[in-house]
Chain A
Amino acid sequence: MKPKLIFGVLSIVLFTSLLMYNFGNSISTYVNFEQAADRSSSHVVGTWYSDKEYGFSRETMQFSFHMKDEDGNVRRVVYPRPKPNNFEQATQLVVIGELRNNTFHANDMLMKCPSKYNDPSEAEFTQAEEF
C-alpha cells in the first residue's frame, strides 16, 4: 500500500508540474505597441482607429488598418487575410503577431463584437434616438 501511495502522489505531482510548466509557456501577456517592438510575438489589445485609410488591397492580398492600443499608440496593422466579418463593429481588437518597422504584422486577429450577449454602449443609445 505504501509504495503504491508514494508512486501515486509522485505521478500526480509530476503530471501537475509538467502541465503547469507547459501552460505557463503557452500563455503570454498583453502588451502595447511600444512594448511589442522588443518582442518576437505579441498580443496587443486595442480598438480600430478609423480616422485613417483602411481596406483590403488586392495587390498585396492584405488587409490593412490602423489600431490604437490601450495606451493610445497608433500603428498600422497588416493582416494577410480578407477583412473579417464585423470588423467595423468590433468594440475591441486583439492582434497577435510581430511589430516590424512600426508596422504590426498580424498572424491572427480576434474581435470582440457586441453580440446578443452584450449590452450596447450609451453612445449607441443616443444614436438610436436620432433615427
Chain B
Amino acid sequence: MIGTIGHLFLAGSFVSAVAALFTYAYSAYKDDKALESISNKLWVAKGALLLVASGILVYLIMTHQFQYYYVWNYTSLDLETQYLFSAFYGGQEGSFMLWVLCSFVVGLGLIRWTRKPYKAPVMFVMTLTQVFLLSMVVGWDILGLQIGASPFRTIAQEMPNAPFIQANPDFVPADGSGLNDLLKSPWMMIHPPIIFVGFAMMTVPFAFAIASLWTKTYHDWIRPALPWTLAANLSLLTAIFLGGYWAYETLSFGGYWAWDPVENASLVPWLIGTAGIHAMIIQRKSSRAHKAAIFLAILAYIGIVYQTFLTRSGVLAEQSVHSFVDLGLYGQLLLFILVMTIMGIGFYLYRYKELPSPEKESTILSREFMTFTGSMLLLILGLVIIIGTSSPIIGRFFVDNPTPPEIEFYNQWSMPIVIIMAFFTVIGQHLFWKKYTWESLAGILTIPLLLTSIASILSIILGDVRNIYYMVYIFAAWFAVIGNAAVILDLMKRKPKLIGGALNHIGFGVLLLGIIASSVYTEPLLDERTANYNQRIAQGDVFDEEGFPVTQPVEMFELELDSPTLINDKWMVTYEGYEISDSPRPGQQEYRLRFEPIDGGSTFYMDPVVYPMLTSSTMDNIEWTVDPHVRTGVMSDIYLYVAGSKYVEQENERVSRGASNMPVSDQQQGELDTEPDEQVIEIGRGQTVEAGEFSFTFRDFSPAAEEELPDNTQIGIRSLVEVEHQPTGDRYEVEPLFAVYTEDDRSYTYAPPLTIDSWDMTVQFTSVLPESDSIELTIEGLSYQFEEDWILVVAEIKPFVSVVWLGTFLLMAGFSVSLMRHWSREKKKQEQEDNEAA
C-alpha cells in the first residue's frame, strides 16, 4: 500500500523530469525567461517528489516491511539503525535514487548561481541525465517492455512463479536476508554518498561544455565550470581514498588498491577530470586549448556513464568481486551511454571547425605547452586503464571469453607514464609562474636536482633498491616533491593563496613514493622455520608429493599458546589466548598477540578478530570472516590477521558433527572388537597412577545418593578421582558410580561412564577391590592427542603506507585550496557584474 504511493511519487518525479526536459529545451531555444522559471519549478518538483519517495523507502526499511523485495534483500531485524539507513542506498535501485538526489541538490546550486546564456542549456543537460537515471527506477511495464526496476516492488512481483508465492500470494517473510557483514562499516556508510556527490558534480562541466557548444560562447563557460570540476574531483578523490582505506582496514584483500574494475571505474573519471582541469586552466589563463577543455569536460562525464554501464549491466560479472547484479537494465544503460556519447562527441565534432584555435603554436618552454602535456599524460593514463577494465568487451577481439588483464599490464603502463608526469610537474610549475629559458631553468633547478639526488641515493641505499627502473621512478618522485616544494616556497612569499596547484603536485610526488614503498617492498612476517623453508623453495629444493617442484612460498606461520616465537629476527611474538564476546558481532573471537622487539623497543599488542558471518552461516556450516588488525606507524604498518585457530577448527568439527548425527549404534558395531582405546587401571586409595599423558589420583570413596541407584542395590558407591593432563596441568575431578544390584536373583553391575568433553575421554568405575582398598577404572580415550591452543597467522609489514595517505591528503588539500580560490573569484566577479547590471 505505502509502496504503491512510493511508486507513484517515483513516477511523478520521472514525469516532471521529462516535462522539465522539454521546457528547458524550449526556453533555451527561444530564450524564454518565463518558461525557464517554470522549468526551474519542475526541477524542484522532481526533487521534492523523489525526496518523498526516498523517505517512503527509508520508512519501509526502518519498519521492516519485508514484503518488499528491496527491504527483504538488504536488511534484517537485527540491523542497527545507522545501517538500516545506509541500506537505502545499499542496492542498485536505491543507489540510483541517491545519485539523482545528489544531482538535484547540485541542480539547485546551478539554478541559483548560473547566469545567462548558460542557465537553460546547462539545466537541459542536467535534466536529460536525470531522465535517464530516473528511468532506471520507475519500474514501468509498457506493453511488455520493462522500464527500470522499482525499489517498491514486492516479493510477489519479483518472483511470481516461486512455489511459496503460488501457495500464498500474501506471504511476508519473518525476517530479511540481511546486509552483508563486510558492509557494516562506518566507512561504507559515507563512501557511496561521497561518490555520488562526485558523480553529480562531474555532470556540471559536461553540461557547461554542451551549453557552450549550443550557445557558441566558447570562452566564458570554464569560469563557472572550473570550481564545479574541482569540487567533483575533490569528492571523487575522497571517495576513492575511503574505498581504499576500507579495503585495507576491513577486508583481508591485503592492500589498498587491487586494480579491480570497480576501483578503476572511479579512478578513470578522476584522471580525465584532472586532465580537464589542466586544459581549463590553460584556457582561463591564456585563452588557448578551448578544444581540449571542452572535449575533456565531455569525456569525464562519459567516463562516469561508461563505468556505470560496466559495473551495473552485468558485463563485468565474472571479473570483479563487487559488480552489481544485472537487473535487466542492459538496454537502458546502453541507451544512456550512447545518447550521452553521441550528444557530447557528436555535437563537439559538429562545432569543431568553429572552435577557436591558437594563432601560433606555443613553444616547448611555455606554461601552455607544459600544462597541456600534463593534461594529455593524464588522459593517456586514463585510457590505458579504460582499456584494461574493458577487457570483457575489447578482449573479444583477441580471444573468446577473455579474462581480465594481469595486474602487470596496469603496472607496466602506468609506471613510465607517471615517471614522465613527475618530471613535467616540476618544469611545468616553474614555467607556470615565471618565464624561463633553458639556461635559466637549469639554473633554478640546480639546487632541487641536487637535493633530489641526495634523497634518491639515500632511499635507494636504505631501502636496498636493486632495480634500475625503480631507481628512476624514485628519482622522479623525489624530484616532483622537492622541485614543487621549491615552487611553494617561492609562492608563499608572494601569493600564498595560489599554492593549490603546487601543493597538488607535491602530493602527487609523495603518493608515488608511498605507492612504491608500500607495494613493492611489502614483506611477509615469518618465523625462522618458514623462512628457511621458503629459501629452499626459492632454490628449487622442495617437491610436492607428486614430484613437482613447489614454487609458491608459504606466507603464514603458526603460533602456539604462550610459546614466544622469533619473527623476522625482529620480534618475539607470543600468542596469549583469545576472548569470545558477543559485541559488536555475536560469537567473535579477539586474539591477543604480544610483540616484543628484541632490540629493546617497547612491547605492543595486536588484536585481530575472527567472527562468524551470520547472514550466510547455516546450522551445519559456519562461515568465518577475519577482521585484520592494522598497526599504523609512520615508518611502516603491520597488517595481521588470524587465518585459522584451534577454536575455529573445533567449532567447525562440533557443528559438522551435530549436522551429520551419525546413528551411534552403527559406529559401535563396527568397532566392537577393536576398541584399541580402552585401558583398565587399578588405583589404591590415595595413590596416583600414570597412563599415557594423564595421571589418575584416587582420593577416596564417597557415598552415592539413594535415588541415583537402581532398585535392589546391594552396593552403591562413588569414587572421587582426579584426572590430570600432565603436559598442560589441566585437571578435572570426576565421581564415577559403581553399583551392584540384583534382578531375578542374578547380580548385575551398574557403572555408567562419565565423559570429560574437552579430552573426549570417558571414565568408568568398573570394580571395587576391597582386599587391596583399590578401585578399577576403565578409561577410554587415553590415546587422545592433546593439542595446544594454536593460531595460524598471516601478517605483512608494509613500509610507508602512511606516505600514501599523506600524498592523498596533500592532493585533497591542494584541490581544496584551488577550489576556494576559484570559487571566491567567481563569486566576486559575479557580484561585480550584478552591480554593473543594476
In the complex, the chain B residue whose C-beta lies closest to that of A79 is B552
Residue contact A116 to B554, C-beta cutoff 8 Å: no
Residue contact A92 to B318, C-beta cutoff 8 Å: yes
One digit per residue, 1 when the CB lies within 8 angstroms of any chain A CB and 0 when it does not, for chain B 353-381 equals: 00000000000000000000000000010
The tally of residues in B whose CB lies under 8 Å from a CB in A reads 69
Min CB gap A78→B, angstroms: 9
Q: A23-B405, A58-B792, A116-B179 are in contact. Are A85 and B625 (CB under 8 A)?
A: yes
> Which chain B positions have C-beta within 8 A of A43?
403
| CB interface residues, A 83-104, toward B, < 8 Å | 83-89, 92, 94, 100-101, 103
Q: A19-B387, A111-B321, A113-B321 are in contact. Are A29 and B403 (CB under 8 A)?
A: yes
Decide if A27 is an interface residue (CB 8 Å cutoff): yes
In the complex, the chain A residue whose C-beta lies closest to that of B161 is A122
Decide if A82 is an interface residue (CB 8 Å cutoff): yes
Decide if B644 is an interface residue (CB 8 Å cutoff): yes
One digit per residue, 1 when the CB lies within 8 angstroms of any chain B CB and 0 when it does not, for chain A 24-68 equals: 101111100000000000010100000000001010010000000
CA distance A101 to B543 in the complex (A): 14
Residue contact B163 to A126, C-beta cutoff 8 Å: yes
Decide if B781 is an interface residue (CB 8 Å cutoff): no
Cross-chain contact of A45 among B180, B318, B556, B558 (Cβ < 8 A): B318
Q: A86-B625, A131-B175 are in contact. Are A112 and B321 (CB under 8 A)?
A: yes
Q: A29-B399, A116-B179, A119-B325 are in contact. Are A86 and B404 (CB under 8 A)?
A: no
Residue contact A85 to B395, C-beta cutoff 8 Å: no
> Which chain B positions have C-beta within 8 A of A88?
616, 621, 623
Stretch of B407-415, B428-436, B455-463 contacting A (4+ beta carbons < 8 Å): B407-415
| CB interface residues, A 108-126, toward B, < 8 Å | 110-120, 122, 124-126
Residue contact A80 to B174, C-beta cutoff 8 Å: no
Q: A29-B403, A56-B644 are in contact. Are A129 and B616 (CB under 8 A)?
A: no
Decide if B73 is an interface residue (CB 8 Å cutoff): yes
Q: A19-B384, A126-B162 are in contact. Are A112 and B318 (CB under 8 A)?
A: yes
CA distance A23 to B386 in the complex (A): 11
Cross-chain contact of A125 among B162, B318, B395, B623 (Cβ < 8 A): B162
CA distance A85 to B173 in the complex (A): 28
Decide if B252 is an interface residue (CB 8 Å cutoff): yes
Residue contact B90 to A116, C-beta cutoff 8 Å: yes
CA distance A80 to B548 in the complex (A): 15
Decide if B322 is an interface residue (CB 8 Å cutoff): yes
Min CB gap A50→B, angstroms: 9
Residue contact A117 to B324, C-beta cutoff 8 Å: yes
| CB interface residues, B 125-162, toward A, < 8 Å | 155, 159, 162
One digit per residue, 1 when the CB lies within 8 angstroms of any chain A CB and 0 when it does not, for chain B 316-328 equals: 0110011111010
In the complex, the chain B residue whose C-beta lies closest to that of A117 is B324
> Which chain A positions have C-beta within 8 A of B224?
none
> Which chain A positions have C-beta within 8 A of B794?
81-82
Cross-chain contact of B159 among A24, A30, A115, A125 (Cβ < 8 A): A125
> Which chain B positions have C-beta within 8 A of A56?
643-644, 792
Cross-chain contact of A126 among B164, B322, B325, B406 (Cβ < 8 A): B164
Min CB gap A10→B, angstroms: 16
Decide if A6 is an interface residue (CB 8 Å cutoff): no
| CB interface residues, B 46-88, toward A, < 8 Å | 73-74, 87
Cross-chain contact of A117 among B92, B318, B621 (Cβ < 8 A): B92
Residue contact A82 to B391, C-beta cutoff 8 Å: no
Decide if B171 is an interface residue (CB 8 Å cutoff): yes
Min CB gap A126→B, angstroms: 6
CA distance A113 to B408 in the complex (A): 25
Q: A29-B402, A118-B325 are in contact. Are A22 and B554 (CB under 8 A)?
A: no
Cross-chain contact of A116 among B155, B180, B387, B403 (Cβ < 8 A): B180
CA distance A43 to B397 in the complex (A): 18
Min CB gap A40→B, angstroms: 12
Residue contact B546 to A103, C-beta cutoff 8 Å: yes
Q: A81-B556, A115-B182 are in contact. Are A89 and B92 (CB under 8 A)?
A: no
| Residue positions of B touching A, CB distance < 8 A | 73-74, 87, 90-92, 155, 159, 162-164, 171, 173-175, 177, 179-180, 182-183, 251-252, 317-318, 321-325, 327, 380, 384, 387-388, 391, 394-395, 397-406, 408-409, 412-413, 546, 548, 552, 554-556, 558, 613, 616, 621, 623-626, 643-644, 792, 794
A-B contact pairs, 23 of them (CB 8 A): A19-B413, A20-B387, A27-B395, A27-B404, A27-B406, A27-B409, A29-B399, A80-B552, A80-B554, A81-B556, A81-B643, A85-B625, A88-B621, A100-B546, A103-B546, A105-B552, A115-B182, A116-B183, A117-B92, A117-B322, A118-B324, A119-B73, A122-B159
Using A27-B391, A61-B554, A105-B552 as known contacts, list a sample of 12 further A-B pairs with CB atoms less than 8 Å apart, ordered by residue number in A.
A15-B380, A24-B397, A26-B409, A27-B395, A27-B402, A29-B400, A83-B643, A85-B626, A86-B613, A88-B616, A111-B321, A131-B175
Q: What 9 pairs between A and B have smallest CB-CB spacing?
A: A82-B643, A26-B409, A26-B405, A29-B399, A80-B552, A118-B325, A24-B398, A117-B324, A43-B403
